[in-house]
Amino acid sequence: MARKQLTGIGPPPETGADDSGCPILHVDMDAFFASVELLERPELNGSPVIVGSPAGRGVVLSATYEARAFGVHSAMPMSRARRLCPQAVVIPPGHGKYSAVSKGVMEIFHAITPLVEPIASDEAFLDVGGARRRVGPPARIAALIRAQVRERYGITCSVGVASSKFVAKLASKQCKPDGLLVVPADEVVAFLHPLPVSALWGVGERTEQALVRLGIRTVADLARVPVTTLQRELGAAAGAHLSALAWGRDERAVTAHTPDRSIGNEETFAADVDDPEVIKRELLRLAERVAARMRESGHVGRTVSVKLRRADFSTITRSRTLREPTDVAQEIYSTACELFLAAGLERVRLRLVGVRMENLSPAGTASRQLSLGARETGWREAEQAMDRAIRRFGPDAVLPASLVRARLDEMEA
């Protein structure tokens, strides 16, 4: 096969692979949160590092490849990660830093093509078919992106170049970390068929078990099974979907400017909490974060949702739709507190709480109507002023009074 993996930066190279039918790129930042943290801790380069709660609660947000060598991966419980790699340095997350770098990286993408579909803060699909004449062929564009990300932000990314989103994403995974992989359009089947069937989108643990029972372990095995058999075993839609992927058929286009469906934050306590005042302070902290993210992204929302996880890991959610959309933390917080109290868990030990805003719309299109005789509270203007102070002086420059008192209590403890 003419596939070729490239590493390093410099002048955009020629790959030697035929990228003429490969307008789709999947760009995936390498160990994104951990890489951003290492910019401030360069002495930790080459060491196992985990981004997560130092108290051992919650899950791994990111891990360097040195930590991954011990079996650590994202979404793994921190307690298990510490057992697998006790020598790892654990760094608490600093979400503001990640958002700033993510925004800058997305700007690099948008400078090349308007057809950018973010999947998360650290990955996106690009359709660069329209940028050929102005910038160059897809592989050259991919190399330029990698060079610019490293030059501007000091971190690396891996890029898959292919004829479809599905194959491009698999290619970026295959060449991690810090690689570039082109899968020519006429070599897609040869690229896919040696892979384990679990590599296909839609094959989770249960589906993989069902396929293994049928003697299907690789994508090639799956491709040889009649689609009617797959549909009988997995259902009509799932069977047809996997059969198409096994032959590299994925017709989905890159969708630009996919709107956020929801914006939320959650926090796992260092120790289970049954004090309602402590829980409400955490709801306020989360409401502040969610509101700030909404204002930054230019959204307002109408539905407030809270997530409450008990010490036994059972979880409940409660939500309420407001009369008017909002991006004001105080409105989100007051509703979140009401939902918490209505759930009847004031004296129940909680492990995790979360706040989320749903039913989003662009801020400029949402109108706020005052009831007859009602007065503006001024909270929006106050919070916008807080946003400006935080951007200039850092995340702890301005805090609500109750959170300041909590911070002082922590320092005295």
Provide CB contacts within 8 A for 48, sequence distance 6+.
63, 64, 66, 67, 69, 70, 72, 85, 87, 88, 89
Instruction: Answer whether 149's CB lies under 8 Å from 157's CB.
Output: yes
Instruction: Check 37, 117, 123, 187 and give the catalytic one.
Output: 123
Task: Return phi, psi of residue 10, to 5°.
Answer: 135, -160
- Beta strand residue intervals within 274-379, DSSP E: 299-310, 315-326, 350-362
CA dist., res. 267 & res. 270, Å (int) = 9
Q: 123 forms bridges with which residues in the sheet?
A: 28, 120
On whether 396 is known to bind a ligand per the annotation, the reply is no
From 250, 244, 215, select the one nearest 231 (Cα to Cα): 244
CA dist., res. 13 & res. 84, Å (int) = 39
In the annotation, is 123 catalytic? yes
Q: How far from the centroid of its chain's Cα atoms is residue 4's Cα?
A: 28
Q: SS3 for 408?
A: helix
- The DSSP symbol for 41 reads -
Instruction: Answer whether 158's CB lies under 8 Å from 178's CB.
Output: yes
CA dist., res. 82 & res. 89, Å (int) = 10
On whether 186 is known to bind a ligand per the annotation, the reply is no
Tokens representing 384 are 């916008």
Q: Which amino acid is present at 308?
A: L
- Beta strand residue intervals within 58-136, DSSP E: 62-63, 89-91, 116-120, 123-127
Task: Return phi, psi of residue 134, to 5°.
Answer: -85, -40
> How many CB atoms neighbour CB 374 within 10 A?
8
Provide CB contacts within 8 A for 404, sequence distance 6+.
none
Residue 93 burial (10 A CB sphere; 0-12, 13-18, 19+)? middle
Q: Angle 95-112/32-40 helices, nearest 10 degrees?
A: 110
Instruction: Answer whether 265's CB lies under 8 Å from 337's CB.
Output: no
Q: Which residues are catalytic?
A: 123
Binding site listing for Mg(2+): 28, 122
Binding site listing: 28, 122
